[in-house]
Amino acid sequence: MPIPMTVEGAEALRAELQHRKTTLRQEISKSIGVAREHGDLRENAEYHAAKEQQGFNEGRIQEIEGKLADAQIIDISKIPPGDKVIFGVKVTLLNIDTDETVTYKIVGEDEADLKAQKISVMSPIARGVIGKSVGDEVVIITPGGEQQFEIDNVEYR
């Protein structure tokens, strides 16, 4: 099943993959070589730590390759802008009770980062606003209870 991903998310994964396959692999190989020179491998903590790091790195490489293979990369810049909330847009919501606004970019599951105002397409907020348009009011069930928002703005970039 294809997993939606923004262009930026795919580029970040490709950059991480490149780093892990080149720089990090070489660094780990050197660490293993240095640790081997210390003698008996059965009681060599440096060697075992480097081998563990190597296993983690190779596992992450496989994970990234799998994610990229399953990704459906959506380039929001190729979609004519509108006022409808879709995957990849920045949406500004007005909390009707508090008059506070929040802005989120709706991204793929692996790209979500609340500190960067990026929420997963599978989050309750994203599910509540996708398909709606500027001016629509939505009720979203959050951990703190029901909250009512008005979709204030949608940016296609």
Residue 35 sits in a domain whose CATH number is 1.10.287.180
Mean pLDDT over each residue of the chain, to the nearest integer: 92
Provide the β-strand partners of residue 133.
Answer: 84
Domain count, the chain: 2
| Cα separation, 122 vs 9, whole angstroms | 16
Q: pLDDT digits over 82-110, tens only? A: 999 999 999 999 999 999 999 999 999 98
Residues 143, 94, single domain; the answer is yes
Domain boundary residue, one of 54, 74, 94: 74
107 by DSSP, 3-state: which? strand
Sign of the torsion angle spanned by Cα atoms 19, 20, 24, 26 = negative
Query: 72 CB contacts (<8 Å, ≥6 apart)?
Result: 2, 3, 4, 5
From 113, 105, 101, select the one nearest 85 (Cα to Cα): 105
CATH code (residue 95): 3.10.50.30
Output the pLDDT for position 39: 75
Give the chain's length.
Answer: 157
Q: pLDDT digits over 21-68, tens only? A: 999 999 999 998 888 887 777 778 888 899 999 999 999 999 999 999
Q: Which domain holds residue 144?
A: 76-155
